[in-house]
A = this chain, B = another copy of it.
Amino acid sequence: MQTLTEAQMTRLVESVLRAAGLSQAEAAACAAASVFADLRGAATHGLVYIVPRTLESIAAGKTVSGARPTLRKETGAAALMKAAGVPGPVAGREAMLLAVRKAKEQGIGAVNMFNGNPIGLLGYYANLAASEKMIGIVMANTAPAAAPHGATSAVLGTNPFAYAAPSRDSHPVLFDAATTVASAGKLMQVRRQGVPVPAGWLTDAAGNPVTDAAHAKGAVMLPCGGHKGSALAILIHLLTGGLSGTSVGGEETHDNPDPARRGQGALFLAIDPELFGGSAVFETMVERQIGFIHAARPLPGKDHALYPGERGWAELDARRQRGIPVPDEDWKLVVEAVAAAKLPADLVASASAPA
C-alpha cells in the first residue's frame, strides 16, 4: 500500500499525462478532478480511473491535446457545447464555469455538452459552482446498462447525477450518485473481489435477482427506487444526449459508430441564489438544513444522521492530513497503464517519492 500526499498525487497524474502529450493546463485540469475524487474516498473516479482511461483515450485518438470546446448555440443563459477530442475534465470544467458566468447574469445557466470524453466524478464540477456561491447540478448519460422499470434488458445508462450547494459554516452539501441501485464502479469492485452481488443490484432475463458475481455478466442493472429511478434516468438521457440530438437510452455513447453522435453527453446547471432570495440568506438556509438533519433522531447506534457529502468531506480533511492510500492492486493498474502507453516507468515511481 502506497500513501501519497495531495501534492504527490497531483504531480503523479500531471507528469504521466504531460508525458502522454497533454499540455500542463490540460494535465492540471485532469489531476484536479482526479485528486478531488481520491481525497473524498471515491477511488473509482480517482487515479486508477483517470490515468488508464485518459492514456487509452489518447492512444485511441479520442482525446487530443489542444482540442477546444466549441459553442454551437448560445444565449445569455444557455449554451450547446461540442467537446469532441477535449480531455474530459477540461471540457467539464469549462462547461460548469460557463454555466456559472451565465448564472451570475441571469440567475440560472445551463450548458449542454456533447461528443465529450468521460468527465469523471460529477460532484467535482457541481462543487466548482458551490465554490462560486452557487448551486451546481450535473448529470451525464452512459451506455446501456440498466433495465427500464418493467423490463429486463439494458436500455438506460447508470446516468449519474450530482449537486452541490454552499453553506455558511460547513462544507457544501454535495451529492453524487448513479441512478442505478449500484454504480458501475461498485459493481466492478464486487466482481473483482468475487463476493456475492447484493440482491437488488442485478436482474436476470426473468426478473429474478442475480447475486452470483460469476454469472453477473449476462445480468442487467436495476434502477434505484423502481419506476422513480427509471424515470430519473430517462430524464437524464433526455436532458443530455436528447437535448443535443446525439443519443438516448438504448444507444451507445463512447462506442457509438457515428462520430457525430459519439461520446458522453452532460448537462451543467448553475443557479445563483443572489438573484433569488440572496446569497447570504441562502447559505444560512443550507446551514439550517444541515442543522435539522443533524438534530434528527438517529438510527439506533448512530451518533447523528449525515448530510449528503459529509462523509466525503471528513475523508478529504483526514486525507489532506494523513495522505491518500493507494491499494496495491490500484497501483499495479496505474503502472501497467503507463507501461502499455510506452511511457517511462520511473514516472510513477519518482512522482510518489518525497518532494
**A interface residues (Cβ-Cβ under 8 A, vs B):** 73, 75-80, 105-110, 112, 114, 135, 137, 147-153, 155, 163, 165, 173, 175, 177, 179, 181, 205-207, 224-225, 227-231, 234-235, 237-239, 241-246, 248-251, 271, 273, 275-278, 281-282, 285-286, 288-289, 291-293, 295-300, 302, 304-308
Contact = CB atoms under 8 A, between A and B. Distances in A.
A293 B77 contact: no
B285 A248 contact: yes
A224 B307 CA distance: 16
Contacts of A231: 163, 175, 177, 308
B243 A273 contact: yes
A73 B299 contact: no
As for how many copies of this chain the complex holds, the number is: 2
A280 B229 CA distance: 27
A277 B243 contact: yes
A304 to B, nearest CB: 8
B238 A173 contact: yes
A167 to B, nearest CB: 10
A250 B286 CA distance: 12
Given A275-B75, A292-B249, A308-B227, A241 B285 contact: yes
A244 B105 CA distance: 18
Nearest to A163: B235
Nearest to A112: B276
A138 to B, nearest CB: 12
A299 B108 contact: no
B296 A243 contact: no
Given A228-B177, A282-B243, A151 B77 contact: no
A80 B276 contact: yes
A148 B297 contact: no
Contact of A245 (B251, B285, B302): B285
A170 to B, nearest CB: 13
A277 B110 CA distance: 13
Given A225-B228, A305-B148, A308-B231, A107 B300 contact: no
A323 B105 CA distance: 49
Given A151-B293, A151-B296, A308-B234, A73 B275 contact: yes
Contacts of A150: 298-299, 302, 304-306
A107 B177 CA distance: 27
A105 B74 CA distance: 11
A106 B76 contact: yes
Contacts of A273: 243
A160 to B, nearest CB: 11
Residue in A75, A207, A281 whose Cβ sees the most chain B Cβ within 10 Å: A75
A205 B297 contact: yes
A234 B241 CA distance: 27
12 contacts: A78-B276, A165-B242, A175-B235, A177-B231, A234-B307, A234-B308, A238-B286, A242-B282, A242-B285, A244-B276, A248-B288, A250-B291
